[in-house]
Amino acid sequence: MNKNTVWGLVIILIVVFGFYLFFNSQQQNTQAPQEQINLEQQVSEGDDVDEMVAESEVREILIEGDEFAFTPSTITVEEGEKIALTFRNVGTFPHNFMIDELGVKSATIEGGEEDVVEFVADQGGAFAFYCSVGNHRQQGMEGEVSVE
């Protein structure tokens, strides 16, 4: 092969490779708007997820129990509200936390322990909460939850 033929083939290969790169980049650019539309759809669908998360938010409440009282001794929640109640025993004797009308019952725990009880305040009114261990309720270990 002579020198001119080799250079001609090299130029043809460069031109063909250039066309390949040009058309390949054009194809990617035409796909980008579709990907952008899909991303926008995901964002708008995500808005519905945010609304569901907001609707299912859980209010956290901490109640401490010792010999023989709860702190705080009164709490107020909204009807239909989802509650995650942490009962922490800061005393030395075993204690628990109960609200009969709302079906709330923690485990009986030792001093220094805590138990989380989740519930929905599904009815309005004022309800007693108390410790059901021994005669702790009679000794003053009780309080009131108001569901408004």
What would the pLDDT profile of 110-143 be if each residue is shown by its tens digit? Answer: 999 999 999 999 999 999 999 999 999 999 999 9
Q: In this structure, are 37 and 9 located in the same domain? A: yes
Question: Of 40, 56, 72, which marks where a domain is finished?
Answer: 56
What CATH number is attached to the domain comprising 100?
A: 2.60.40.420
Residue 117 confidence (pLDDT): 97
Which strands form 125-130's sheet, in the order they lie side by side?
74-77, 142-147, 125-130, 98-99, 104-105
Residue 24 confidence (pLDDT): 72
What's this model's pTM, rounded to 2 decimal places?
A: 0.62
Lowest mean pLDDT among 10-24, 65-79, 97-111, 123-137: 10-24
Residue 29 confidence (pLDDT): 52
Residue 144 confidence (pLDDT): 97
Q: In this structure, are 76 and 42 located in the same domain? A: no
17-61 pLDDT, tens digit each: 777 777 776 665 554 444 444 444 444 444 454 444 445 699 999
Q: In this structure, are 118 and 84 located in the same domain? A: yes
Q: In this structure, are 143 and 88 located in the same domain? A: yes
Residue 26 confidence (pLDDT): 63
Tell me the residue range of the domain where 131 lies: 58-147
Residue 84 confidence (pLDDT): 97
Task: Answer yes or no: are the C-beta atoms of 58 and 82 closer than 8 Å.
Answer: yes
